A = this chain, B = another copy of it.
Amino acid sequence: MFRRLKQILIGSPLETAALPEQRLSKKSALAVLASDNLSSTAYATEEILLALTAAAAVGMMIPIHYVVPLAGAIAILTAIVAVSYAQTMHAYPTGGGAYTVAKENLGVTPALAGGAALLLDYILTVAVSVAAGIAAITSAVPSLLPYRVQLCALAVTAILLVNLRGVRESAAVLAGPVYFFILSMFVLIVGGLVRYFQGAVAPPPPVEVHEVWGLAYVFLILRGFAHGCVALTGVEAVANGVRIFRLPVARNASITLYVMAGLLASMFLGTSFLASVYGFLPRTDETLLSQIGRAIYGAGPVYYAIQGATMAILILAANTSFTGFPRLASVVAQDRFLPRQLANLGDRLVFSNGMIFLAFVAIALLVLFGGDVHALIPLYMVGVFLAFTLSQAGMVVHWRRSREPGKGWRMAVNAVGAVATGLVLIVVTVVKFMEGAWMIIIALGVLMFVFRRIRDHYYVVGRELSLADYEKPEELRHTAVVPVPGSPNKMVLAAIEYARSISKDVIAIHINRDEVDREELQQQWHAWSPDVPLVVLDSPYRAITQPLMRFIDEIHNWRDEDVVTVVIPEFVTGRWWHHFLHNQTTAFLKVALLFKPHVVVTSVPHHLRR
CB distance from A452 to the nearest CB of B (A): 13
Closest-CB distance, A88 to chain B (whole angstroms): 27
Name the contact of A594 in the complex, choosing from B13, B339, B603 (C-beta under 8 A): B603
Q: Is the CB of B601 within 8 A of A543?
A: no
Give min CB distance, A10 to chain B, whole Å.
13
The answer to whether B600 touches A605 (Cβ under 8 A) is: yes
A467 at the interface (CB under 8 A from B): yes
Contact present for B608 and A599 (CB under 8 Å):
no
Mark A429-471 against chain B: 1 for CB-CB distance below 8 A, else 0.
0000000000000000000000000100110110011110010
With contacts A493-B470, A581-B457 taken as known, whether A476 is within 8 angstroms of B498 at the C-beta atoms is yes
The reply to whether A16 and B542 contact each other, CB–CB distance below 8 Å, is yes
B-contacting residues, A480-504, CB 8 Å: 488-491, 493, 497-498, 500-503
Instruction: Find out whether the CB atom of A581 lies under 8 angstroms from the CB atom of B454.
Output: yes
Q: Report the minimal beta-carbon distance from A204 to chain B, rounded to whole angstroms.
A: 49
**Contact between A498 and B609, CB atoms less than 8 A apart:** no
Whether a CB of chain B sits under 8 angstroms from the CB of A523 is no
Interface string of A588-610 (1 = CB under 8 A from B): 00000011010111111111111
Question: Residues of B contacting A563 with CB < 8 Å?
Answer: 498, 501
Q: Which of B540, B584, B601 contacts A17 (CB 8 A)?
A: B540
Q: Which listed residue, B476, B497, B607, touches A476 by the CB 8 Å rule?
A: B497
A585 to B341, alpha carbons, bound, how many Å?
9
Q: A466: which of B466, B489, B571 is its contact (CB, 8 Å)?
A: B489
CB atoms of B488 and A501 under 8 A apart: no
| Residue A345 lies at the interface, judged by CB distance under 8 Å to chain B | yes
Instruction: Indicate if the CB atoms of A602 and B605 lie closer than 8 Å.
Output: no
Chain multiplicity (copies): 2
Kindly report which residue of chain B lies nearest to residue A494, judged by CB atoms.
B473
B542 and A461: CB pair below 8 A? Answer: no
In the complex, what's the smallest C-beta–C-beta distance from A596 to chain B, in angstroms?
Answer: 8
Could you say which interface size class chain A belongs to? 35 or more
Given contacts A489-B465, A584-B341, contact A501 B475 (CB under 8 A): yes
Give A454's nearest chain B residue, CB to CB: B581
Chain B residues, Cβ within 8 Å of A285: none
Contact B599 A601 (CB under 8 A): no
Closest chain B residue to A473, Cβ basis: B497
Q: List 26 A-B contacts (CB under 8 A).
A: A13-B541, A15-B540, A16-B513, A16-B540, A17-B540, A339-B580, A341-B585, A346-B542, A347-B541, A458-B581, A460-B610, A464-B609, A465-B489, A466-B490, A467-B490, A467-B528, A470-B490, A475-B501, A477-B501, A501-B502, A502-B565, A594-B603, A597-B607, A599-B605, A601-B603, A601-B605
List the 3 closest A-B pairs by CB distance, nearest first: A502-B502, A465-B489, A476-B501
Identify 14 new A-B residue pairs, CB closer than 8 A, beyond the known A502-B503, A502-B565: A15-B540, A17-B540, A339-B581, A344-B542, A347-B542, A457-B578, A457-B581, A465-B491, A501-B502, A501-B563, A597-B605, A597-B607, A600-B602, A601-B602
